[in-house]
A and B are shown apart, each in its own frame.
Chain A
Amino acid sequence: MVLGLVEGAELTFLRRSLGGDPLEIRIYGAAISLRDEQARRFRVVPDGRAG
């Protein structure tokens, strides 16, 4: 949360690691790693832009 995964934040999915977990996402220029089980707790809405 203190890393900024909060309501209203925009993020870009970059890739999955070896074995499909964890995920790498980019949030306002900063890459962070998120385990699958934690990623599931967030609701992400696609914004339609490719990228």
Chain B
Amino acid sequence: MAAPAEVVVPVERIAVNRKAVGTVAVVGNPNAGKSSVFNRLTGLRQHTANYPGVTVERRVGRGIFGKVPLDLVDLPGTYSLSPTSADERIAVDVLFGRVAGTPRPDAILAVIDSTRLYQGLYLLQQLTELGRPMIVALTMIDAAEREGIKFDLAALEDALGGVPVLPIVATSGRGFAALNEALAKILSLAPPRATAHWPELERAADALVERWRGGGAELHRVEAERLLIDGSEHSLVPQAAADAAVVRPELFGAEPPLAAEARRRYAWVRGVLAQVETPGSGVMSQTARLVDWINRPWPATGLLLALMFLVFQAVFAWATPLVDLIDAAVAGFGAVVAGVLPDGMLESLIVDGAIAGVGSVIVFLPQIVILFLFIILMEDTGYLARAAFLVDRAMRGVGLSGQSVIPLLSSFACAVPSIMATRVIPNRRDRIATILAAPFMTCSARLPVYALLIGAFVPAQAVGVFNLQGLVLFGLYGIGIVGGVGTALLLRSSVLRGQNPTFILALPEFRMPSFRNVATKLLDRARVFLRRAGTVIFMVAVVVWVLTYFPRSPDVDAARAVAETQATATLTGAALEERLADIGNQAGAAHLEQSWLGRAGHAVEPLFRPLGWDWKVSAAVIASFPAREVVVAVLGTIYAVGDEADEATLAGQLTTAQHPDGSPVFTLPMVFGLLLFYAWCLQCAATLAVIRRETNSWRWPVFAWSYMTALGYGGAFLIYQLGSA
């Protein structure tokens, strides 16, 4: 399939779409309402995938304008053609037709926020130079009107070299009739006239294009200009970087090329702005004054705390009935299936493996969907940037950036959506540090483990106005935060050292999110969760089942049969029921002991003995590496109280558990060590899968797992050894 390197095949030849007559790139600044426009133009005729090799989402949709079917590609938001992040690089690469599988766009639909025309014009001027037919959709025109801003659209069209400009409101659909009409004719539009004048750069770029044509590379003048200014590596032209480096000093002198470009373009932008825009009176409306007040540091802090409280309330309280409902439904369904199927391996595989596996995935959905909903709402209202602005100073103090705050807070519910939410962090080092700090936060899957151990071993006595059990739980949250912050600090001062030279954050105005947009994004992310995390969690559930089920010993079943016959002969009624259940649980424990998991527990026991663990705890911990909450069920089986046992019964068993020499297993130092182990270990296959996906390499998940396991082991070791000494 792959063409030899020296043959340049135009991408549009390979990937042309037979049905659509052309491809239109939807380009714009971040937060300009691009996705709302895209969604409204394509409706549900769209699909999402990833660009090859990166975690940037590729959204393509079909729109029919008049009778003209067009493919629309929703590009990641960018402020310029000089990419500063993976997202922006994709946007630029698609525009130049450098992305395999995505044809070079035939035309451009630029989506520009009318209240931020200053930055919009900069991108617009660069886009006009691409030599493609173009239309500008000027969004949020209602917000501009409220501020009293007026536009001379004819003058703007003229300044952009004859590009049609259409004022719209993406949330209400205002102006879309005209936009649809314009899009129907977009392919026959003439490319924009030249608007910039930089003869030295143009000459240098033309000379480079001429030279490289000899080598077989067909480049646009604009591409050569980008090479001169951005110095981006371009695989089509091997000597490009060297050639550009020769020309650059005489072209720009000592001034950084990007600064020279920005200085020139923004001079043009200011000129155009003065011509086409009449600013508002500056008199603030009631709403504007309220927004201004809420943006002040202290009210904003109050708002952030209130919002976070609301999120946690929703994730933990509102989701609980749904979670319980799903739990009960899964258990009920399992019981029905178990009743229908004959006892044996198939029944166990389907009920304990498959159904329980699927159940353990969908039981997370309510919390995850609620969490995603809040994150998306914060993104779409523009609040995310505000929160980042507010806490940037504090977060930088711990080696992160303001944009880390929402992902990190989300990971108190679940690290998976939180790690997916780190995409808003443009700086790679900040993003990786945030991803590695997130799994330390006390997620909801840790709570059953904490509840069991604290309930069993920490006395419920009062300490002042507090309860000791509550204090220990609070301390565990604190230990998680300490672990995460310490990790971020450590990373930022070692492998992820370095400052972000240009951290400048656009602060969008608050706005109403569009329902359609929020719903589309929510469905999208829930699907990604089910596909990525769900398949992993399910497979893990089946693997754990295999490890606990095989090999099967006939001796255990024979002993069980004997005991049952004996019981039936001597007991009746409730006493018999109880005895039979007990025998069943004993048999379950015996099966587990000689299963692969039980053997593994015995095998690794020496490794965990310095932590005070016996083979049972070791086996349960091993089983919980793919999903930490599994430990409660495994302990239930191992201690022969059944995997559905209530906490009190299991807790009672734990307090009396003994080492072979008769000493208690669950001493206080051992319990605190175990708690610390669960606080710091990365026992979650779904999180690992998501880290793999988001960092696009195995390096970080492997590092995170090894590092956190070592940390958990070390901590548990120290506590046990010091506490028992």
Contact = CB atoms under 8 A, between A and B. Distances in A.
Interface of A: 1-9, 15-22, 24, 27-35, 38, 51
A21 B391 CA distance: 9
B505 A4 contact: no
14 contacts: A1-B259, A2-B262, A3-B506, A15-B295, A16-B297, A17-B297, A19-B393, A22-B393, A24-B295, A24-B389, A31-B507, A31-B508, A33-B388, A51-B282
B389 A3 contact: no
Contacts of B402: 22
Interface in B222-261: 258-259
A38 B505 contact: no
Closest 10 interchain pairs by CB? A28-B118, A2-B80, A31-B507, A19-B393, A33-B505, A30-B116, A1-B262, A6-B266, A2-B79, A18-B297
* Chain B: number of interface residues, binned into ranges: 35 or more
Interface in B489-513: 502-509
A32 to B, nearest CB: 5
Contact of A33 (B117, B270, B504): B504
Nearest to B256: A1
SS of B interface (majority): helix
B389 A22 contact: yes
Given A2-B262, A7-B263, A16-B297, 14 more contacts: A1-B262, A2-B79, A2-B258, A8-B267, A9-B270, A18-B391, A20-B393, A22-B393, A24-B295, A28-B270, A28-B273, A31-B508, A33-B504, A38-B504
A34 B392 CA distance: 10
Nearest to B501: A38
A30 B389 contact: no
Contacts of A1: 258-259, 262, 502
Residue of B115, B116, B296, B509 with highest tally of chain A CB at under 10 A: B116
B425 interface: no
A32 B507 contact: yes
B269 interface: yes
A18 B390 contact: yes
Contacts of A18: 297, 300-301, 390-391, 393-394
Nearest to B296: A15
A2 B122 contact: yes
B82 interface: yes
B504 A32 contact: yes
Interface of B: 79-80, 82, 115-119, 122, 147, 149, 258-259, 262-263, 266-267, 269-270, 273, 279, 282, 295-297, 300-301, 385, 388-394, 402, 502-509
Given A4-B266, A16-B297, A29 B116 contact: yes
A9 B266 contact: yes
B119 A19 contact: no
Contacts of A8: 263, 266-267, 270
Nearest to B292: A14
Contacts of B259: 1, 6
Nearest to B297: A18
B392 A22 contact: yes
A22 to B, nearest CB: 5
Contacts of A24: 295, 389, 507
A19 B270 contact: no
A9 B217 CA distance: 39
B118 A33 contact: no
B502 A29 contact: no
Nearest to B84: A2
A4 B385 contact: no
A34 to B, nearest CB: 6
Nearest to A27: B118
B417 to A, nearest CB: 25
Given A29-B115, A30-B115, A30-B506, A35 B267 contact: no
A24 B300 CA distance: 14
A17 B389 contact: yes
A33 to B, nearest CB: 4
Contacts of B300: 18
A6 B118 contact: no
Contacts of B507: 24, 31-33
